[in-house]
Chain A
Amino acid sequence: NAGVTQTPKFQVLKTGQSMTLQCAQDMNHEYMSWYRQDPGMGLRLIHYSVGAGITDQGEVPNGYNVSRSTTEDFPLRLLSAAPSQTSVYFCASIPAAGDFRNEQFFGPGTRLTVL
Protein backbone atom coordinates (compact mmCIF):
# COMPACT_ATOMS: atom_id res chain seq x y z
CA ASN A 1 0.00 0.00 0.00
CA ALA A 2 1.14 3.52 -0.74
CA GLY A 3 -0.71 4.76 2.36
CA VAL A 4 -1.76 8.41 2.30
CA THR A 5 -0.35 10.36 -0.63
CA GLN A 6 -0.48 14.10 -1.22
CA THR A 7 0.28 16.17 -4.29
CA PRO A 8 1.93 18.50 -4.93
CA LYS A 9 4.72 18.51 -2.35
CA PHE A 10 5.37 22.21 -2.88
CA GLN A 11 3.29 24.99 -4.43
CA VAL A 12 3.61 28.74 -4.83
CA LEU A 13 0.50 30.78 -5.64
CA LYS A 14 -0.27 34.42 -6.17
CA THR A 15 -3.01 36.08 -4.15
CA GLY A 16 -6.38 35.38 -5.69
CA GLN A 17 -5.38 32.25 -7.56
CA SER A 18 -7.23 29.02 -7.01
CA MET A 19 -5.91 25.50 -6.70
CA THR A 20 -6.70 22.05 -5.40
CA LEU A 21 -4.53 20.05 -3.04
CA GLN A 22 -4.88 16.37 -3.74
CA CYS A 23 -5.08 13.62 -1.15
CA ALA A 24 -5.57 9.93 -1.79
CA GLN A 25 -5.41 6.77 0.28
CA ASP A 26 -5.44 3.16 -0.84
CA MET A 27 -6.26 1.57 2.51
CA ASN A 28 -10.06 1.71 2.13
CA HIS A 29 -10.29 4.09 5.07
CA GLU A 30 -13.68 5.69 5.55
CA TYR A 31 -12.54 8.74 7.48
CA MET A 32 -10.30 11.48 6.09
CA SER A 33 -9.23 14.89 7.37
CA TRP A 34 -7.32 17.99 6.33
CA TYR A 35 -5.10 19.96 8.72
CA ARG A 36 -2.89 23.01 8.37
CA GLN A 37 0.24 23.69 10.35
CA ASP A 38 1.71 27.15 10.68
CA PRO A 39 5.31 27.72 11.86
CA GLY A 40 5.79 26.83 15.52
CA MET A 41 2.19 25.75 15.87
CA GLY A 42 0.38 22.49 16.23
CA LEU A 43 -1.98 21.17 13.58
CA ARG A 44 -5.41 22.72 13.16
CA LEU A 45 -8.33 20.86 11.63
CA ILE A 46 -9.79 22.40 8.47
CA HIS A 47 -12.38 19.89 7.23
CA TYR A 48 -13.06 16.23 7.70
CA SER A 49 -15.16 13.46 6.17
CA VAL A 50 -16.69 10.42 7.80
CA GLY A 51 -17.39 8.74 4.48
CA ALA A 52 -18.06 9.26 0.79
CA GLY A 53 -20.54 12.07 0.26
CA ILE A 54 -20.24 13.38 3.83
CA THR A 55 -18.06 16.29 4.93
CA ASP A 56 -17.99 18.65 7.89
CA GLN A 57 -16.09 21.67 9.12
CA GLY A 58 -13.23 21.69 11.61
CA GLU A 59 -11.61 24.55 13.52
CA VAL A 60 -10.50 26.71 10.59
CA PRO A 61 -12.72 26.01 7.54
CA ASN A 62 -12.95 29.54 6.09
CA GLY A 63 -11.42 29.89 2.64
CA TYR A 64 -11.43 26.14 1.95
CA ASN A 65 -13.85 23.75 0.29
CA VAL A 66 -13.81 19.97 0.26
CA SER A 67 -15.75 17.16 -1.35
CA ARG A 68 -15.68 13.38 -1.00
CA SER A 69 -17.03 11.72 -4.11
CA THR A 70 -15.03 8.52 -3.58
CA THR A 71 -13.64 6.70 -0.57
CA GLU A 72 -10.09 7.09 -1.87
CA ASP A 73 -9.91 10.83 -2.60
CA PHE A 74 -10.42 13.92 -0.47
CA PRO A 75 -9.31 17.07 -2.32
CA LEU A 76 -8.98 20.45 -0.62
CA ARG A 77 -9.81 23.52 -2.72
CA LEU A 78 -8.62 27.06 -2.23
CA LEU A 79 -10.97 29.24 -4.28
CA SER A 80 -9.08 32.53 -3.88
CA ALA A 81 -5.74 32.11 -2.17
CA ALA A 82 -4.64 34.61 0.46
CA PRO A 83 -1.22 35.08 2.11
CA SER A 84 -2.79 33.93 5.39
CA GLN A 85 -3.17 30.51 3.81
CA THR A 86 0.57 30.06 3.56
CA SER A 87 1.09 26.90 5.56
CA VAL A 88 1.89 23.20 5.47
CA TYR A 89 -1.17 21.09 4.76
CA PHE A 90 -1.54 17.53 5.98
CA CYS A 91 -4.13 15.00 4.95
CA ALA A 92 -4.99 12.07 7.21
CA SER A 93 -7.14 8.96 7.11
CA ILE A 94 -8.50 6.52 9.65
CA PRO A 95 -9.31 2.81 9.27
CA ALA A 96 -12.87 1.66 8.71
CA ALA A 97 -15.51 2.26 11.34
CA GLY A 98 -16.06 -0.24 14.11
CA ASP A 99 -13.33 0.87 16.46
CA PHE A 100 -13.52 4.59 17.02
CA ARG A 101 -10.22 4.50 18.89
CA ASN A 102 -8.28 3.88 15.70
CA GLU A 103 -5.36 6.18 15.04
CA GLN A 104 -4.97 8.54 12.10
CA PHE A 105 -2.46 7.96 9.31
CA PHE A 106 -0.95 11.16 7.97
CA GLY A 107 0.38 12.03 4.54
CA PRO A 108 3.76 13.71 3.95
CA GLY A 109 2.30 17.20 3.59
CA THR A 110 2.04 19.96 0.98
CA ARG A 111 3.98 23.16 1.54
CA LEU A 112 2.01 26.09 0.17
CA THR A 113 3.23 29.66 -0.18
CA VAL A 114 0.85 32.44 -1.21
CA LEU A 115 2.53 35.63 -2.38
Chain B
Amino acid sequence: DAKTTQPTSMDCAEGRAANLPCNHSTISGNEYVYWYRQIHSQGPQYIIHGLKNNETNEMASLIITEDRKSSTLILPHATLRDTAVYYCIVRVISASTLGRLYFGRGTQLTVWP
Protein backbone atom coordinates (compact mmCIF):
# COMPACT_ATOMS: atom_id res chain seq x y z
CA ASP B 1 0.00 0.00 0.00
CA ALA B 2 1.83 3.04 -1.34
CA LYS B 3 -0.51 5.54 0.42
CA THR B 4 0.22 8.17 -2.23
CA THR B 5 -1.37 9.29 -5.48
CA GLN B 6 0.63 10.81 -8.32
CA PRO B 7 -0.17 11.68 -11.93
CA THR B 8 0.99 9.03 -14.36
CA SER B 9 2.97 11.42 -16.56
CA MET B 10 4.02 15.03 -16.94
CA ASP B 11 6.00 17.08 -19.45
CA CYS B 12 8.29 20.03 -18.90
CA ALA B 13 10.37 22.26 -21.17
CA GLU B 14 14.09 22.29 -20.56
CA GLY B 15 15.12 25.19 -18.33
CA ARG B 16 11.67 25.60 -16.85
CA ALA B 17 10.59 24.53 -13.38
CA ALA B 18 9.05 21.08 -13.07
CA ASN B 19 6.37 20.82 -10.38
CA LEU B 20 5.42 17.26 -9.48
CA PRO B 21 2.37 16.86 -7.22
CA CYS B 22 1.65 14.10 -4.74
CA ASN B 23 -1.46 13.44 -2.69
CA HIS B 24 -1.12 11.67 0.65
CA SER B 25 -4.43 12.44 2.33
CA THR B 26 -4.14 9.65 4.92
CA ILE B 27 -0.67 10.62 6.11
CA SER B 28 -0.10 10.28 9.84
CA GLY B 29 1.54 12.87 12.03
CA ASN B 30 4.74 10.86 12.35
CA GLU B 31 5.14 10.03 8.67
CA TYR B 32 7.71 11.73 6.50
CA VAL B 33 7.38 12.43 2.78
CA TYR B 34 10.24 11.12 0.65
CA TRP B 35 10.98 11.59 -3.04
CA TYR B 36 13.08 9.26 -5.15
CA ARG B 37 13.59 9.11 -8.88
CA GLN B 38 14.54 6.34 -11.28
CA ILE B 39 16.27 7.11 -14.52
CA HIS B 40 15.63 4.47 -17.13
CA SER B 41 16.78 0.99 -16.01
CA GLN B 42 18.91 2.36 -13.17
CA GLY B 43 18.46 1.97 -9.42
CA PRO B 44 16.33 4.61 -7.69
CA GLN B 45 18.05 7.75 -6.47
CA TYR B 46 17.14 9.67 -3.33
CA ILE B 47 16.11 13.31 -3.90
CA ILE B 48 14.72 14.88 -0.75
CA HIS B 49 12.49 14.31 2.26
CA GLY B 50 10.48 16.37 4.76
CA LEU B 51 8.00 16.23 7.63
CA LYS B 52 6.03 19.48 7.61
CA ASN B 53 8.40 22.31 6.75
CA ASN B 54 9.46 23.09 3.22
CA GLU B 55 12.85 21.69 2.36
CA THR B 56 15.48 22.55 -0.24
CA ASN B 57 18.70 20.90 -1.29
CA GLU B 58 20.99 21.02 -4.30
CA MET B 59 18.63 18.87 -6.35
CA ALA B 60 15.15 20.10 -5.56
CA SER B 61 12.65 21.79 -3.26
CA LEU B 62 9.84 20.08 -1.39
CA ILE B 63 6.70 22.03 -0.55
CA ILE B 64 4.32 20.37 1.93
CA THR B 65 0.87 21.85 2.49
CA GLU B 66 -0.06 22.99 5.96
CA ASP B 67 -2.49 20.10 6.44
CA ARG B 68 0.22 17.74 5.09
CA LYS B 69 -2.25 16.02 2.78
CA SER B 70 -0.27 16.86 -0.33
CA SER B 71 3.16 17.96 -1.43
CA THR B 72 4.98 19.21 -4.52
CA LEU B 73 8.47 18.40 -5.66
CA ILE B 74 10.04 21.28 -7.57
CA LEU B 75 12.97 20.91 -9.93
CA PRO B 76 13.80 24.59 -10.45
CA HIS B 77 15.54 24.35 -13.83
CA ALA B 78 14.77 21.03 -15.44
CA THR B 79 17.32 19.50 -17.79
CA LEU B 80 17.06 16.58 -20.19
CA ARG B 81 18.85 14.44 -17.60
CA ASP B 82 15.94 14.95 -15.21
CA THR B 83 13.75 12.76 -17.42
CA ALA B 84 12.84 9.91 -15.05
CA VAL B 85 10.08 8.31 -13.01
CA TYR B 86 9.57 10.21 -9.76
CA TYR B 87 8.24 8.41 -6.69
CA CYS B 88 6.56 10.03 -3.73
CA ILE B 89 6.68 7.84 -0.61
CA VAL B 90 5.46 8.30 2.95
CA ARG B 91 6.92 6.39 5.84
CA VAL B 92 7.13 6.37 9.58
CA ILE B 93 10.63 7.04 10.80
CA SER B 94 11.69 4.25 13.13
CA ALA B 95 14.20 1.45 13.33
CA SER B 96 11.61 -1.09 12.23
CA THR B 97 10.65 0.84 9.08
CA LEU B 98 14.11 1.98 8.12
CA GLY B 99 14.58 -0.69 5.47
CA ARG B 100 11.04 -0.53 4.16
CA LEU B 101 10.09 1.76 1.31
CA TYR B 102 6.78 1.22 -0.46
CA PHE B 103 6.90 2.51 -4.02
CA GLY B 104 3.83 3.25 -6.11
CA ARG B 105 3.93 3.67 -9.90
CA GLY B 106 5.29 7.20 -9.73
CA THR B 107 5.15 10.01 -12.29
CA GLN B 108 7.01 9.76 -15.57
CA LEU B 109 8.53 13.20 -16.11
CA THR B 110 9.69 13.93 -19.64
CA VAL B 111 11.80 17.03 -20.18
CA TRP B 112 11.83 18.17 -23.79
CA PRO B 113 14.32 20.49 -25.49
Residues of A near any B CB (own CB < 8 A): 4, 31-33, 35, 40-45, 48-50, 56, 58-59, 88, 90, 92, 94, 97, 100-109
Contact = CB atoms under 8 A, between A and B. Distances in A.
Given A90-B43, A100-B93, A106-B43, A40 B105 contact: yes
Interface string B79-104: 00000000100000111111111111
B95 A100 contact: yes
A43 B44 contact: yes
A33 B99 contact: yes
Of B2, B44, B94, most A-chain CB atoms within 10 Å: B44
Contact of B102 (A4, A59, A88): A59
Interface of B: 2, 32, 34, 36, 41-46, 49, 87, 93-106
A55 B87 CA distance: 25
Given A32-B99, A50-B99, A101 B49 contact: yes
The main secondary structure of chain A at its interface with chain B is strand
B43 A92 contact: yes
Indicate the member of B32, B45, B93, B98 with the most A CB atoms within 10 Å. B98
Contact of B101 (A56, A104, A108): A104
A22 to B, nearest CB: 15
Contact of B99 (A48, A59, A101): A48
A45 B100 contact: yes
Contact of A104 (B2, B46, B106): B46
Nearest to B50: A101
A65 to B, nearest CB: 17
